[in-house]
Amino acid sequence: MIWLRKLRLGFHLLRGMLVCATVFPWASAHLRERLIRAWSRRLLAICGITVDVQGLPPGGAAPRGAMLVSNHISWLDIYVIHSWQPVRFVAKSEIRSWPVVGWLCDKTGTIFIERGRKRDAHRVLHHITEVMQQGDLVCVFPEGTTTDGSQVLPFHANLMQAPVSGGLPVQPVGLSYVDAATGKPTLAPAYIGDISLVECLDAILKSPPIRVRLTLGPQLMPQSASRRELAEAAREVVVHLSAGAPEAAREAAATFARSPLDDGLPTAAMS
């Protein structure tokens, strides 16, 4: 029954707020990560969603000190990624004023940017570079909007300046939502067009169980690349990952590594 699952989601949201208010202020970074991961997994379970992480060697650790770039389909993307590895997302500043959600985003380390203000963009780029150098994993959705998952839009290159300036890796990730029974793509989680959050949630809760494929690709090192070249290479890798073609993603990353940029040094490394 949808109303019962919505009730469970409401209690889960309240529990998250309570933890953020009472535990986060004194918790270590490791404990905060554990709590965010557990809370996100529980939210997905209530929604009937399981996550299948691919591309990471058995027992392999999540990358650190990198920029994670992914295609963007749903509001669920945040919790799918958090359920694998808590990261620091970059989001528009308007989200901070959203009831409940904005407060939770702020408490879980989201980096807010005022789009359209060049001075704030410079501040955020400096901050992103700084936290990545400290070992944080920062996630951006370079498409700048959501899609139904059938395509990956061109990547905006502005935030790619952070890994370029810091000489830090970019970790491409591909997301795809499929029917857990048939393996066919599902549009239920797509948060697109004029659909409201409530309508999207209803579609998810009415849908048969959903499986999300979260596929990690080879890391890209921007040693000699411009931010635009890096964005184009990252998008190509994400296109293949989201389509379930990891071999093609590795070939695209290897091609980028061999590109004769500047002095011809390799600009990408296989993870």
Asked whether residue 263 is assigned to any structural domain, the reply reads no
Asked whether residue 267 is assigned to any structural domain, the reply reads no
Q: For the chain, how many structural domains are there in total? A: 1
CATH number at residue 210: 3.40.1010.10
**Tokens found for residue 10:** 């409401």
Asked whether residue 270 is assigned to any structural domain, the reply reads no
Ramachandran sector of residue 114 (left: φ over 0; alpha: ψ -120 to 50; beta: rest): beta
- In whole angstroms, what separates CA 99 from the centre of its chain? 22
pLDDT at site 12: 95
The pTM is what?
0.91
- In whole angstroms, what separates CA 119 from the centre of its chain? 25
pLDDT at site 260: 62
- In whole angstroms, what separates CA 179 from the centre of its chain? 21
- The tens-digit pLDDT sequence of the chain (271 residues) is 788 999 999 999 999 999 999 999 999 999 999 999 999 999 999 999 999 999 976 666 778 899 999 999 999 999 999 999 999 999 888 877 777 778 888 888 899 988 767 777 788 899 999 999 999 999 999 999 999 999 999 999 999 999 999 999 999 999 999 999 999 999 999 999 999 988 999 999 999 999 999 999 999 998 788 999 999 999 999 999 999 999 999 999 999 988 765 444 333 333 3
- Strand ranges (E), the chain: 49-54, 66-70, 88-92, 111-113, 137-140, 170-179, 210-216
pLDDT at site 269: 38
Asked whether residue 207 is assigned to any structural domain, the reply reads yes
Asked whether residue 266 is assigned to any structural domain, the reply reads no
Give me the domain span that covers residue 7: 2-258
Query: Radius of gyration over alpha carbons of the chain, in Å?
Result: 18
pLDDT at site 98: 73
Ramachandran sector of residue 226 (left: φ over 0; alpha: ψ -120 to 50; beta: rest): beta
